[in-house]
C-alpha cells in the first residue's frame, strides 16, 4: 500500500493514479490517514452486493468449531 501526503497528491496526481493501479493509495492530512484512492474496478469489487453481501461473507453457514481464548486483562485499579 502506498502512502502520500495531501501536498504530494496535489503536486502529482498522475503518480498517485499510477500507484493506485497496483493497490490502494492512502492520502494523509496532517500525518493522519484521510482518504484512500482506489481503481474503480477495486471499488466495485469492494462494494459489490452492499451490506447484505458483507453480512453473508461474515456469516458462518456451517457449524464450525472455533477455538477462542480471550486474552486476560488486568482489572486492578492502580493505587496512588
Of the chain, the percentage scoring pLDDT greater than 70 comes to 76
At residue 21, the pLDDT reads: 95
| pLDDT (mean) for 38-46 | 89
Predicted TM-score (pTM) above 0.75: no
Domains along the chain with CATH numbers:
2-52 (3.40.1620.10)
Most trustworthy range by pLDDT among 4-8, 56-60, 68-72: 4-8
53 has a pLDDT exceeding 90: no
4, 16 contact by CB (below 8 A): yes
pLDDT in tens, 31-41: 999 999 999 99
b/e 49-59 (16+ beta carbons within 10 angstroms → b): eeeeeeeeeee
Amino acid at each position: 500500500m502506498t502512502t502520500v501526503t495531501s501536498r504530494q497528491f496535489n503536486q502529482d496526481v498522475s503518480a498517485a493514479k499510477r500507484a493506485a493501479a497496483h493497490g490502494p493509495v492512502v492520502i494523509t492530512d496532517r500525518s493522519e490517514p484521510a482518504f484512500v484512492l482506489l481503481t474503480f474496478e477495486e471499488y466495485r469489487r469492494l462494494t459489490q452486493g452492499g451490506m447484505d453481501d458483507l453480512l453473508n461473507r461474515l456469516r458462518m453457514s456451517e457449524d464450525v468449531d472455533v477455538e477462542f481464548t480471550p486474552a486476560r486483562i488486568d482489572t486492578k485499579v492502580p493505587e496512588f
